[in-house]
């Protein structure tokens, strides 16, 4: 897949009901894109202005997210050229991993609850999935 095709396929999305700050959602989506292979080293991200227009948010919010990702070594910004995914491997620290896991679990439980499922229903199904994965190894 070419860089252009990958970039066009990657779009930021916001969930205003999640309670997660918008800049964090942008950071999490970039990190998730890298983890899933949707984004790879050298891929260009949309401009700050384009993301702000697409999401109807303040450009400073996008700049904050991009700047934090740049400080972590995830992004490289080249003046006049754009913002790109870095080629270096980025390790997340334990605190960041736990924060992201807590966020995912909270969202999962909230969505399941709104669909009428209990935490016990979720645990039972997760146990089933764990058993199935164990059988396939």
Is there a contact between 38 and 9 (Cβ–Cβ < 8 Å)? yes
Is there a contact between 45 and 66 (Cβ–Cβ < 8 Å)? yes
Q: What's the structural domain count of the chain?
A: 2
Q: CA-based Rg of the chain, rounded to a whole angstrom?
A: 17
Is there a contact between 108 and 122 (Cβ–Cβ < 8 Å)? yes
Helical (H) or strand (E) element with 119: helix 119-135
Print the domain residue range for 13: 3-85
Is there a contact between 90 and 30 (Cβ–Cβ < 8 Å)? no
Q: Which residue has the tokens 């009428």?
A: 116
**Residues 24 and 43 both lie in one domain:** yes
pTM of the model: 0.64
Per-residue pLDDT of the chain (137 residues; tens, 9 = 90+): 444 444 454 789 998 888 889 999 999 999 888 887 889 999 999 999 999 999 999 999 999 999 999 998 999 999 889 999 998 775 667 787 788 788 888 888 888 888 899 999 999 998 888 887 777 65
**Residues 108 and 81 both lie in one domain:** no
């Amino acid at each position: 897949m070419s860089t252009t095709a990958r970039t066009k396929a990657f779009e930021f999305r916001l969930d205003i009901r999640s309670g997660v700050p918008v800049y964090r959602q942008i950071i999490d989506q970039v990190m998730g894109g890298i983890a899933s292979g949707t984004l790879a080293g050298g891929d260009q991200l949309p401009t700050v202005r384009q993301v702000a227009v697409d999401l109807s948010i303040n450009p400073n919010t996008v700049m904050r997210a991009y700047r934090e990702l740049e400080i972590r070594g995830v992004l490289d910004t080249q003046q006049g050229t754009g913002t790109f995914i870095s080629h270096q491997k980025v390790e997340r620290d334990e605190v960041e991993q736990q924060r992201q896991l807590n966020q995912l679990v909270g969202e999962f439980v909230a969505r399941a609850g709104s669909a009428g499922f209990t935490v016990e229903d979720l645990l039972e199904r997760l146990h089933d999935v764990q058993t199935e994965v164990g059988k396939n190894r």
